[in-house]
Amino acid sequence: MSKRLILGIIGALVVLIGWWSYHHGASSDQTGSTATSGTSGGRGGGRAGGGAVPVVAGKVEEKDTPIYLDGLGTVQAFNTVTVHTRVDGELQKVLFTEGQDVKTGDLLAVIDPRPFQAALDQAIAKKAQDEAQLGNAKVTLARNTDLLKKKVIDQQDFDTSKYQGDQFQAAVQADQAAIEAAKTQLDYTQIKSPIDGRIGVRLVDVGNIVHAADQTGIVVITQMHPISVVFTLPEQNLQEILNQGGANGGLKVSALDRGNTSTLDEGALAVVDNEIDQTTGTLKLKATFPNDQLQLWPGKFVNARLILTTRKGATVVPSSVVQRGPQGTYAYVIKTDKTVEMRPIKVAQTEANVALIDSGLKAGEQVVVDGQYKLQPGAHVELTTPQPSQQTRSPQLRQSSHKTVSSGKP
pLDDT digits (tens, 9 = 90+) for 315-340: 889 989 999 988 899 999 999 898 99
Residues 72 and 168 in one domain: no
Residues 389 and 241 in one domain: yes
Asked if the model's pLDDT at residue 390 lies above 50, the reply is no
CA dihedral sign, ordered 289, 295, 298, 304: negative
The amino acid sitting at 79 is N
Q: Please give the average per-residue pLDDT across 355-380, as a whole number.
A: 89
Higher pLDDT, 109 or 353: 109
Determine, yes or no, domain membership for 230.
Answer: yes
Residues 354 and 303 in one domain: yes
Residues 259 and 154 in one domain: no
Domain that holds residue 251: 61-76+225-401
Confidence of residue 309 (pLDDT cuts 50, 70, 90): confident
Residues ≥6 apart with Cβ < 8 Å to 170: none
Model pLDDT for residues 208-254, shown as the tens digit of each residue: 999 999 999 999 999 999 999 999 999 999 988 988 888 787 899 99
The conformational region for residue 294 under phi > 0 = left, psi -120 to 50 = alpha, else beta, is left
Determine, yes or no, domain membership for 207.
Answer: no
Residues 71 and 123 in one domain: no
HEC readout, the chain: CCHHHHHHHHHHHHHHHHHHHHHHHHHHHHHHHHHHHHHHHHHHHHHCCCCCEEEEEEECEEEEEEEEEEEEEEEEECCEEEECCCCCEEEEEECCCCCCEECCCCEEEEECCHHHHHHHHHHHHHHHHHHHHHHHHHHHHHHHHHHHHCCCCCHHHHHHHHHHHHHHHHHHHHHHHHHHHHHHHHHHCEEECCCCEEECCCCCCCCCEECCCCCCCCEEEECCCCEEEEEEEEHHHHHHHHHCCHHHCCCEEEEECCCCCCEEEEEEEEEEEEEEECCCCEEEEEEEECCCCCCCCCCCEEEEEEEEEEEEEEEEEEHHHCEEECCEEEEEEECCCCEEEEEECEEEEEECCEEEEEECCCCCCEEEEECHHHCCCCCEEEEECCCHHHHHHHHHHHHHHCCCCCCCCC
Pairing state between β 381-384 and 53-59: parallel
Residues 67 and 126 in one domain: no
Quick one: pLDDT at residue 20?
60
Residues ≥6 apart with Cβ < 8 Å to 26: none
Asked if the model's pLDDT at residue 3 lies above 90, the reply is no
Total residues belonging to the chain: 410
Residues 245 and 161 in one domain: no
Determine, yes or no, domain membership for 30.
Answer: no
Determine, yes or no, domain membership for 84.
Answer: no
Q: Please give the average per-residue pLDDT across 16-26, as a whole number.
A: 58
CA dihedral sign, ordered 280, 283, 286, 287: negative
Confidence of residue 410 (pLDDT cuts 50, 70, 90): very low
Higher pLDDT, 82 or 319: 82
Higher pLDDT, 244 or 82: 82
The amino acid sitting at 232 is T
pLDDT, averaged across the chain: 83
Out of 188, 217, 247, a domain closes at 188
Quick one: pLDDT at residue 157?
76
Rounded distance, CA 322 to CA 359, Å?
12
- Sheet harboring 219-222: ordered strands across? 80-83, 219-222, 197-199, 101-102
Residues 270 and 177 in one domain: no
Asked if the model's pLDDT at residue 391 lies above 60, the reply is no
Residues 121 and 239 in one domain: no
Asked if the model's pLDDT at residue 399 lies above 80, the reply is no
Model pLDDT for residues 172-201, shown as the tens digit of each residue: 999 999 999 999 999 999 999 999 999 999
Quick one: pLDDT at residue 28?
44
Rounded distance, CA 367 to CA 362, Å?
10
Higher pLDDT, 193 or 44: 193
Residues 323 and 246 in one domain: yes
Q: Which of 32-41, 79-88, 90-99, 202-211 has the lowest mean pLDDT?
A: 32-41
Asked if the model's pLDDT at residue 25 lies above 70, the reply is no
Side-chain-side CA neighbours of 336 within 13 Å: the count stands at 1
Determine, yes or no, domain membership for 142.
Answer: yes
The conformational region for residue 260 under phi > 0 = left, psi -120 to 50 = alpha, else beta, is left
In the chain, the number of structural domains is 2
Residues 325 and 386 in one domain: yes
Determine, yes or no, domain membership for 219.
Answer: no
Confidence of residue 35 (pLDDT cuts 50, 70, 90): very low
CA dihedral sign, ordered 162, 163, 166, 168: negative
Quick one: pLDDT at residue 5?
65
Confidence of residue 303 (pLDDT cuts 50, 70, 90): very high
Determine, yes or no, domain membership for 10.
Answer: no
Out of 136, 161, 188, a domain closes at 188
Quick one: pLDDT at residue 223?
95
Portion of the chain with pLDDT greater than 90, in percent: 48
Q: Residue 334: name the closest of 378, 387, 287 by CA.
A: 378
Quick one: pLDDT at residue 207?
94
Determine, yes or no, domain membership for 146.
Answer: yes
Asked if the model's pLDDT at residue 33 lies above 70, the reply is no
Out of 127, 162, 188, a domain closes at 188
Q: What is the CATH number of the domain that holds 311?
A: 2.40.30.170
Asked if the model's pLDDT at residue 37 lies above 80, the reply is no
Residues 169 and 231 in one domain: no
Confidence of residue 400 (pLDDT cuts 50, 70, 90): very low
Q: What end-to-end distance do the CA atoms of the chain give, in Å? A: 98
Asked if the model's pLDDT at residue 271 lies above 50, the reply is yes
Asked if the model's pLDDT at residue 152 lies above 90, the reply is no
Higher pLDDT, 309 or 178: 178
Contact by Cβ (8 Å): 120, 186: yes
Quick one: pLDDT at residue 36?
38
Quick one: pLDDT at residue 107?
97
Side-chain-side CA neighbours of 2 within 13 Å: the count stands at 3
Rounded distance, CA 276 to CA 273, Å?
7
Rounded distance, CA 326 to CA 109, Å?
68
